Amino acid sequence: MYRVRLFAIRHARAFEWIYQRVEQVMVALDPVFMKIGYNRVERPVAILEQGVKTVLFDCKMCGQCVLSSTGMSCPMNCPKELRNGPCGGVRPGGYCEVKPAMKCVWSLAWDGASRMKGGDKIREVLPPVDRSLKGSSSWLRVSREKAAKLREAREASRTAVAEAFPEARAIEPSSAPLAEEPAGAVNREALKR
């Protein structure tokens, strides 16, 4: 596993690209996941994620994956599980103080991040691990959050257009009439009079 983990760090740029594509697919699948139910999809996606990430990154399935921020080096592989940088006991050559045969996870993280386009994310301070998410799919959680933000942005743009042109219903073109106002909707023209 350790050699595969080192391979993933050496090829961090390629894995960054793959991660972005997986995220795009997961966000695109949001309507399907919503229909099925995220709670029903969680277990199969978590099993798939665990299989892939355990082989490639020696993943511990913390539920809060930060591989894209840490140069494809999982901070949960640190014996101390440090998420924001190395401890003060890194040995010469970048080796771990607890496991002297292993390179420090954070030494590897800096190496991997230097190869990535978004490698500057390693400088961001990460929140502490939420142990209640252990075993859950971070792919599903992150894609669900991003899909929700996209829905909110689309809704905000529609609302902005409606608020910018309140008289549109009164002067609608006959070739493409607007839908009738729902019952209980506020009629702005009536309020102006």
CA nearest neighbour of 115 among 1, 4, 15: 15
CA 147, CA 144: separation in Å to the nearest integer?
A: 5
Whole-angstrom Cα distance, residue 32 to residue 45?
Answer: 13
The whole-number average pLDDT for the span 23-43 is: 94
| Contact between 178 and 159 (Cβ < 8 Å) | no
Model pLDDT, residue 158:
74
Q: What is the pLDDT of residue 2?
A: 84
Instruction: Specify whether the CB–CB gap between 138 and 63 falls below 8 A.
Output: yes
pLDDT band at 134 (very low <50, low <70, confident <90, very high): very high
Q: Which pLDDT tens digit goes with each residue over 61-94?
A: 999 999 999 999 999 999 999 989 999 889 999 9
**171: exposed, middle or buried (C-beta count within 10 Å: 0-12, 13-18, 19+)?**
exposed
Classify residue 42 by burial, with Cβ atoms within 10 Å: 0-12, 13-18, 19+. Answer: middle
Nearest to 142 by CA among 55, 70, 49: 49
pLDDT tens-place string over residues 174-191? 555 556 666 665 555 555
